[in-house]
């Protein structure tokens, strides 16, 4: 018999899991997501979340309480009579009344190898730290921040030039498959959980705009990890003097390069840039208001000669 599931998620990352659970034959009795937010060109239109739009296509009822402080919202959740809640990047810390508001509790799909990278930005932080591996974990939720016992683990290699966007897409698909498997085991009464280790706990703090500027006065490996960990959003950036004024340029892709020089100095005509040790080659760039371009195309419109200094 299929499970009665309440699905809770908001961004595009969550959509694959919602769709996979529905395709697996489970009864998604309701979807909870963040409320519509101002958006559009002028910021005046209310934009539904990707999960909201996906739920409408699947003809699933959608709810978006701003929080669960109101007893009415908690009672409506319990009244659904669900077997389990599945949570993937919902965007709210859930109170005890919600975690225990279904017959079998709540299970979360988290994009790291817990207890490493608990918190808001596990994908970006794993790459920025130079991790060679990460993964998706299905965890039974408790009142802590990503502290619950783990039910299922899927490991994913992080390639040397892989960006956060590429890893996001890989984990999105792996996470959907893992959650379907976990819910199948839960339905069959064979899902087991194991407490997380208390060793190796690291928190993945939300990305702050203040940390997005590229500091070429650091080793090349750290600069490279910083660039790819922030690609495509919010994007690491530098400034360069163009037409007599500083202009900000995002870097959306890079690779390690040979060479040495004063940090920030362009070493050749293909955008190899010196760091405090070693160099990185900038592979994909975007000027303010422009579209992302591969380095060769970028240089055709914006020549950056060897000897130029990026800051």
pLDDT tens per residue, range 230-245: 999 999 999 998 878 8
Q: For the chain, which ranges sit under pLDDT 50?
A: none
Predicted confidence at residue 43, as pLDDT, reads: 65
Q: Across the strands, what pairs with 280? A: 256, 273
Q: Tokens at residue 108, please?
A: 């979360």
Mark whether 197 and 225 lie in a shared domain.
no
Mark whether 196 and 214 lie in a shared domain.
no
Predicted confidence at residue 294, as pLDDT, reads: 97
What gap in Å lies between CA 175 and CA 14, rounded to an integer? Answer: 9
Mark whether 105 and 85 lie in a shared domain.
yes
Residue 310 lies in a domain: no
Domain that holds residue 268: 209-301
- The domain tally of the chain equals 2
Mark whether 228 and 176 lie in a shared domain.
no
Residue 309 lies in a domain: no
Predicted confidence at residue 205, as pLDDT, reads: 96
Q: Tokens at residue 91, please?
A: 């965007």
Nearest alpha-carbon partner for 196 in 269, 81, 118, 101: 118
Q: Which residue has the tokens 């579209």?
A: 291
Predicted confidence at residue 38, as pLDDT, reads: 85
Mark whether 13 and 82 lie in a shared domain.
yes
Mark whether 26 and 84 lie in a shared domain.
yes
Residue 264 lies in a domain: yes
161-192 in b/e form (b: 16+ CB < 10 A) is ebbbbbbbebbbebbbebbbbbbbebbeeebe
Residue 311 lies in a domain: no
Inter-residue contact 49 to 208 (CB < 8 Å): no
Residue 231 lies in a domain: yes
* DSSP string covering 226-285: HHHHTTTTT-EEEEEEETTEEEEEEEEEEEEE----STTBB-STT-EEE-SSSEEEEEEE
Predicted confidence at residue 34, as pLDDT, reads: 96
Predicted confidence at residue 41, as pLDDT, reads: 66
Predicted confidence at residue 1, as pLDDT, reads: 65
Predicted confidence at residue 243, as pLDDT, reads: 79
User: What 3-state class would DSSP assign to 109?
Assistant: strand
Mark whether 195 and 213 lie in a shared domain.
no
Inter-residue contact 127 to 159 (CB < 8 Å): no
What gap in Å lies between CA 121 and CA 225, rounded to an integer? Answer: 15
Residue 274 lies in a domain: yes
Predicted confidence at residue 37, as pLDDT, reads: 87
Mark whether 160 and 58 lie in a shared domain.
yes
Q: In this structure, what CATH number is given to the domain that contains residue 237? A: 3.10.25.10
């Amino acid at each position: 018999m299929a499970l009665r599931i309440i699905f809770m998620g908001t961004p595009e990352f969550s959509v694959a899991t919602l769709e996979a659970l529905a395709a697996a034959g489970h009864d998604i009795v309701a979807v909870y997501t963040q409320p519509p937010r101002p958006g559009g060109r002028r910021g005046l239109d209310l934009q539904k979340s990707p999960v909201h739009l996906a739920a409408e296509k699947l003809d699933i009822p959608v709810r978006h309480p701003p929080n669960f402080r109101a007893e009415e919202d908690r009672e409506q959740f319990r009244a659904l009579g669900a077997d389990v809640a599945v949570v993937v990047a919902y965007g709210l810390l859930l109170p005890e009344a919600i975690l225990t508001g279904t017959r079998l509790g709540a299970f979360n799909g988290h994009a790291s190898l817990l207890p490493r990278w608990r918190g808001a930005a596990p994908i970006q932080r794993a790459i920025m730290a130079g991790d060679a591996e990460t993964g998706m974990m299905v965890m039974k939720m408790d009142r802590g921040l990503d502290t619950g016992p783990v039910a299922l683990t899927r490991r994913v290699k992080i390639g040397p030039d892989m960006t956060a966007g590429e890893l996001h897409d890989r984990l999105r698909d792996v996470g959907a498959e893992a959650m379907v498997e976990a819910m199948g085991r839960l339905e069959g009464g064979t899902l087991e959980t194991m407490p997380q280790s208390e060793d190796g706990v690291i928190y993945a703090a939300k990305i702050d705009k203040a940390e997005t500027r590229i500091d070429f006065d650091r080793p090349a490996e750290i600069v490279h990890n910083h660039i790819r960990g922030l690609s495509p959003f919010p994007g690491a950036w530098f400034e360069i003097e163009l037409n007599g004024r500083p202009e900000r340029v995002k870097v959306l892709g890079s690779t390690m390069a040979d060479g040495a020089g004063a940090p920030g100095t362009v070493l050749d005509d293909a955008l190899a840039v010196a760091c405090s040790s070693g160099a990185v080659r900038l592979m994909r760039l975007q000027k303010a208001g422009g579209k992302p371009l591969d380095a060769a195309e970028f240089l055709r419109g914006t020549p950056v000669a060897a000897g130029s200094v990026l800051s």
